[in-house]
Structure 1
């Protein structure tokens, strides 16, 4: 159930039942020539919708902007600052809490370390001041548990391409070849995109919708498990 599809009266009735609120945070980011700019958005939104159906939760309006570093200079990447990301998280969380939310799960489709740190700081500030339980994770924290060799796979690679092929078959396709990562070591560079000359990393040419379906279902089921664990006995 999408929060913004409800009327104000319906929303009040739903929130009175204290459902888990899922907030998908995506990005508008380059992923090579074979994936859409909404790649990091459609994945957590798919997961949030599927999980909400399984647990009787509600999905807050998605955010499709993020803080970027390695892809910030690539065509199509729209980035917001670290502080904006943090403050946006704080404001949205506080507004959800003001509307009755007491259990919130943030699922970030963009897993960049700076972006996740901004989200984490925002969540921590709210959790210290409000009576609320907050979970924060990237769906790729769970993807990493999927039983397949992911060595050398990364941004826009086989796993991510497979997932998007399953979710948005009309927007994604196999890449023409492998995307290599160029390691700059400890060097701080002004053009971090040099590390991904193809715009993606891994064997994206081997992606399949069937693999994507398996991974997406795995992530949904694992997140349900984590929600039950974190919010304690709610669904027993």
Structure 2
């Protein structure tokens, strides 16, 4: 039918044939979350899916459908739940969804799985989901699945960050809807970016603690936590090249590809 690397574009016999060859499967886990007035709600789906796809192309893998809902947006890393369109799930829900997907992939013969996180708040619920799946698979006598769970933003050269932030990198959490994500979106989906709407009400200044109930005035009104001015596709390619090369290296190492 097709030579696609997308799982959802393959017939089941085509998928079965590829899995029998022990190819790695890539699963992105994102979120539907506000990213300021200049970016779409699907940034945390588009970016990890795009990176997972490029790495899969490098290693001959398959890309499973992305999980589009993530754990609740937090003020200090995503602006928070008050922004319209931010549609999230509880930590337990996300863990169970990931558990179920992993189990099904393993039951059908997947032995190499790479889970690419695209949403800062997903990290620990995802870790729990992997742990639950591995325990249940072990219970069922399936012990040959190897899972790599990673945050794509960790795979970047220090020299690249120095080029992007000569005055110092503000940190991944504050880079929500800012220079990094905007620049990469200008590569993957420039049609969804409106640079004329980039706000100038940041950067956010947060205390080193969380307050409940959340004070809405602690978050910039735009939802952008740092500065997105100066974002370009060229800068996006610097980042994407690093992410793809370094994740590919890790996948080849762990799976002996």
**TM-score, with structure 1 as normaliser:** 0.92
Tell me the distance in 1 between the aligned counterparts of 2:22 and 2:210. Answer: 48
| Partner residue of 2:155 out of 142, 148, 166 | 142
1:67-114 Cα offsets, whole Å, 9 max, x none, are 1232222111000011000000100000000111011000011012xx
SS across alignment from 1:205: coil
Going from structure 1 to structure 2, the CA distance change for 1:99 and 1:194 (only over 3 Å counts) comes to farther
What does 1:84-103 correspond to in 2, within 5 Å?
Answer: 84-103=93-112
Match of 1:127 among 126, 129, 134: 134
Task: Give how far 1:14 is off.
Answer: 1.0
Match of 1:179 in 2: 202
Tell me how far 1:125 sits from its aligned partner.
2.2
CA drift at 1:187? 4.3
Alignment-derived partner of residue 77 in structure 2: none
Structure 1, unaligned stretches of length 5 or more?
Answer: none
Equivalences for residues 72-91 of structure 1 within 5 A: 72-91=81-100
Residue 73 of structure 2: aligned partner: 69
Aligned-residue RMSD, C-alpha: 1.7
Structure 1 counterpart of 2:232: 208
193-202 or 8-17: bigger deviation: 193-202
What's the CA shift for 1:192?
5.8
CA shift for structure 1 position 127: 2.6
Structure 2 length-normalised TM: 0.84
Distance in structure 1 (CA, Å) of the matches to 2:244 and 2:12: 29
Residue 140 of structure 1 and its aligned partner are, at CA, apart by 1.5
Runs of 4+ that moved beyond 3 A:
143-147, 192-195
**Residue 19 of structure 1 contacts residue 58 of structure 1 at CA under 8 Å; is this kept in 2?**
yes
Kindly state the Cα deviation for residue 161 of structure 1 after the two structures are TM-superposed.
0.7
- 3-state DSSP class of the match of 2:238? helix
3-state SS of the aligned residue for 1:199? Answer: coil
What is the distance in 2 between the residues matched to 1:8 and 1:180? Answer: 48
Shift of 1:26: 1.1
Structure-2 residue corresponding to 1:227? 251
Equivalent residue for 1:196? 219
Residues 163-207 of structure 1 deviation map (CA, whole Å, 9 limit, x = unaligned): 111111010133142522131332423226543313012220111
Shift of 1:144: 7.2
Note the alpha carbon deviations across 1:52-77, whole angstroms, 9 max, x for none.
11100001111110012322221110
Counterparts of 2:169 and 2:40, CA distance in 1 = 24
1:167 paired with 2:188, answer yes
Cα distance, 1:126 vs. partner? 2.1
